[in-house]
Structure 1
Amino acid sequence: MSKNIILIGPMGAGKSTIGLLLADVIGCEFRDSDKEVEDKAGANIPWIFDVEGESGFREREFQAIEYLTSEKNIVIATGGGAVIRKENRDLLSKYGCIVYLKTSVEQQLLRTHKDANRPLLQQDDPKKVLTQLLKQREPLYIELADLIVDTNANTPKQIVEKITEFKQTYDLSNPEC
């Protein structure tokens, strides 16, 4: 593998879980853009949102994506909103094979309801927030994706198998990788 595998999708889609498993299976490093933001800031994402607002977080996220996409042969999990910034989309498209991990709002709620580290969900109606976010972002996920995998209908192992099978075909059809 010479091009990175980049996982996109909404929060709770399983990007970090799948990313760790995938990296282990194919023998490369796993990196998470949200973790990169936190490490560089020396603070967690809710603190960044509180102090700098979403725009401050998005700038930090861009810097993390710019750095991560300069690496080679890694699996990258992005934050759910990474696709909203055009510069991020351009970097992701240029430097990676992009996999959209698709999931339903119901699954997102099940997977995130106890996670206080998700500032956008600290609202009275998280289902409404997730529905609105998916409506805004899903067209971007689909537009960027080289592969779409439904995480509702597959186990993590099945998802990793689908990605590795696709990646072999992708590399053969994109020799510049």
Structure 2
Amino acid sequence: MNPAPSLFLVGPMGAGKTTVGRLIAELFRMPFIDLDHEIEAHTGAAVGLIFELEGEAGFRRRESAMLAGLAARHGIVLATGGGAVLDAENRRVLRENGFVIWLDADVDAQLARLARDRQRPLLQAPGRRERLERLARERNPLYAEIADLRLPSSGVGNSSHAAHDLLDLLEARWRRGNPEAA
């Protein structure tokens, strides 16, 4: 059992981090925060525009700064962007400040869920399958490195089923609390 004040969801795009995160937050009566939405609210610009103007490196700097501030809060459910784990400092912040849940989705599930998505900057090129496979090879070991719990989100049905499956697992493996008091 890992005592932690907050729950952090990591995983690839299309895994259901935002949808499942909202449901889990509601079930636990905790505030829900989506990291990408917070960046957009803070900057007044969509993630795609930030990528266009500042490149991925500029976006990642903003993401790291926002993540550090949000992870310091206690008692939240935070859905990160799929690439937040790329930075070693972000992984340390996530690992040390919350219970990390890896929502894992295979490439076929991602393709189905993202078929109509035209907003995600990393998918704005031909060869979506190859891009998602490359991202999975690069990021899955990083998700595994920091995850307290891995929940496959492929083939679990809808987000409500995934949230209830996660709720059962959290009741067995997570104790809400202050990790410094442990």
What TM-score does the superposition give when structure 1 sets the normalisation length? 0.93
Find 1:30's aligned residue among 14, 21, 32. Answer: 32
- Counterpart among 41, 45, 48 of residue 47 in structure 2: 45
Q: Does 1:176 align with 2:162?
A: no
Q: CA deviation at 1:64?
A: 1.2
Distance 1:28 1:123, change over 3 A: same
Q: 1:63-86 CA distances to partner (integer Å, 9 max, x unpaired)?
A: 111111011111000000000001
SS of 2:50 mapped into structure 1: helix
Residue 15 to residue 172, structure 1, CA distance change in 2 (3 Å): closer
- Corresponding letter in the other structure for 1:171: R
Counterpart of 1:94 (choices 93, 96, 109) is: 96
Q: CA RMSD in A?
A: 1.9
Higher RCO (C-alpha under 8 Å, 6+ residues apart): 2
Q: Which runs of 5+ in 2 are unaligned?
A: none
Q: How many residues are aligned here?
A: 177
**8 Å contact 2:39–2:62 — kept in the other structure?**
yes
Return the alpha-carbon distance in structure 2 between the equivalents of residues 85 and 132 of structure 1: 17
Separation in structure 1 between the aligned mates of residue 49 and residue 160 of structure 2, nearest angstrom: 34
Residue from 132, 135, 142 that aligns with 1:133: 135
Of 120, 144, 147 in structure 2, the residue corresponding to residue 145 of structure 1 is 147
The answer to whether the aligner puts 1:162 opposite 2:161 as a matched pair is no
| Structure 1 unaligned spans of 5+ | none
Tell me the amino acid that sits aligned with residue 5 of structure 2: K
Contact 2:4–2:174 at 8 Å: present in 1 too? no
- Indicate the percent of aligned positions where both proteins have the same amino acid: 37
- How far residue 172 of structure 1 moved from its aligned partner, in angstroms, is 7.9
